Structure 1
Amino acid sequence: MQQAVSVWVRDPRIQKADFWHAYMDYEICLHTDSVHFTKKISSVRRRYSEFVWLRQMLQANSQLMVQLPKLPPKNPFFSLNNAQQIGERMKGLQLFLLRIVQNPLLLSDSCLHLFLQSQLSVAKMQACAAGKTHYSVEQAVNSCGLRRFHSEEDLQKDVNTSCDSDSDSLECKDPESLSWKPSSA
């Protein structure tokens, strides 16, 4: 039976780090019935530099056994105000992810799952994938979910753990702040 993995890159947003520095991030939506994924529906925001990190990690972890697709090229003249450049980059990032999730070898990579289904930073994803956190990859993935799929009661309980004030935004809990006990394996 063929298992479907659909991934979209959409909703570019300018994020301001401070008065002088801004960057663009993109929403990555994933819908799947694949047994490879803990969550069947997820949405996270990632920036271009995080895609670069993912590609480097996948390349290192696959030990050259897989020819990875290319990312859209980094453009030194990329403008956060140029809709055509933003659209081309989004298409390139989506094509990159679509090719990645079609490869069974890459679907077993923890970095891919953390990238697609957690809100962890690059440093925390790397530590988690290396087993250097008190939470597992599955726990990191399960600690972040879509608000719109939760009940009103859950929303009231989790109102203080929200990442964003947008009503369709993600509900995220930092896995480090949750009290998980290490599994006894």
Structure 2
Amino acid sequence: MIEETVNAETQQVISVWVRDPRIQKNDFWHAFIDYEICLHTNSVCFTKKISIVRRRFSEFVWLRQKLQANSQLMVQLPELPPKNIFFSMNNGQQITERMKGLQKFLEQILQSPLLLSDSCLHLFLQSQLSVPKMEACAAGQTHYSVAQAVQCCGLRRFHSEEDLQKNLSMSCDSDSDSSECRDPELRIKDLAINKAESTASLDLMGTSQEETLSCSCGSI
């Protein structure tokens, strides 16, 4: 009985939620939907135990392609929700189905020890880097590392590597006492309690984020 209790306490858990779809406008004619990805874990695979980022469908497509290429076909990756040419940003049911499919995709990805070692996955889940910057960071072509990119997640999106280096000292990790670092934990605990409700809730016309958040940081 004691041994079972110890095993239960030391079991590594990775919880992920995809929620809160929002319409983001590039300009008058172009818009897209992004989704909030919340991660809560005690796994040693992750530098940061709690994180919240936003990603759009095309970035999920990029992630799957990179994971498939990097794993050299040693892992059969789950499929993403199908791309619907009739997909409408005004159709709540379509958005909810896509959101559920994206969450299922991540849940299956996070069950693979091989994929958990991929820097692209960590940058996708725990940084706000754009796709080109994630690729450069994972390839070691930036002045900052994957770990630094992850640690600065939650700050404003940096527009240059100089901005990143200047603000690394302000990066908040899971051990910080600042209120900014505690907020994500409170939000994720709330999600854990209300997971079923939050998955179905939509906020399509909510306040748009400050012009496509993006924390230009680097790799694990």
What is the TM-score normalised by the length of structure 1? 0.81
Matched, 1:74 2:89: no
Question: CA offsets, 1:36-81, max 9 Å, x none?
Answer: 0000000000000000000000000000000000000000000001
Quote the residue 2:178 is aligned against: 151
Query: Which letter does structure 1 place at the counterpart of 2:35?
Result: Y
Question: CA offsets, 1:120-155, max 9 Å, x none?
Answer: 0000000000000011100110011389x862599x
Q: Distance in 2 between matches of 1:65 and 1:38?
A: 25
Q: 1:90 to 1:150 in 2, by over 3 A?
A: farther
Question: CA offsets, 1:62-109, max 9 Å, x none?
Answer: 000000000000000000010100000000000000000111000000
> What count of residue pairs does the alignment treat as equivalent?
161
Query: Which letter does structure 1 place at the counterpart of 2:82?
Result: P
Q: What pairs with 1:31-180 in structure 2 (closer than 5 Å)?
A: 31-145=40-154, 151=178, 173-175=215-217
Q: Distance in 2 between matches of 1:100 and 1:121?
A: 20
Q: Distance in 2 between matches of 1:27 and 1:43?
A: 7
Hey, which of these two has a bigger chunk of strand by percent?
1
Which structure is richer in relative contact order (CA contacts within 8 A, separation 6 or more)?
2
Q: 1:150 to 1:174 in 2, by over 3 A?
A: farther
SS in 2 for 1:175: coil
Structure 1 position 173, deviation (Å): 4.7
Give the conservation status (yes or no) of the 8 Å contact 2:14–2:42: yes
Q: Is there any run of 5+ residues in structure 2 with no aligned partner, and where?
A: 1-9, 156-171, 182-208
Q: Distance in 1 between matches of 2:100 and 2:48?
A: 24
CA RMSD of aligned residues (A): 2.1
Hey, which of these two has a bigger chunk of helix by percent?
2
Quote the residue 2:35 is aligned against: 26
Q: Percent identity?
A: 76
What is the TM-score normalised by the length of structure 2? 0.69
Q: Distance in 2 between matches of 1:27 and 1:112?
A: 16
Q: Which runs of 4+ in 1 moved over 4 A?
A: none
Give the conservation status (yes or no) of the 8 Å contact 2:12–2:43: yes
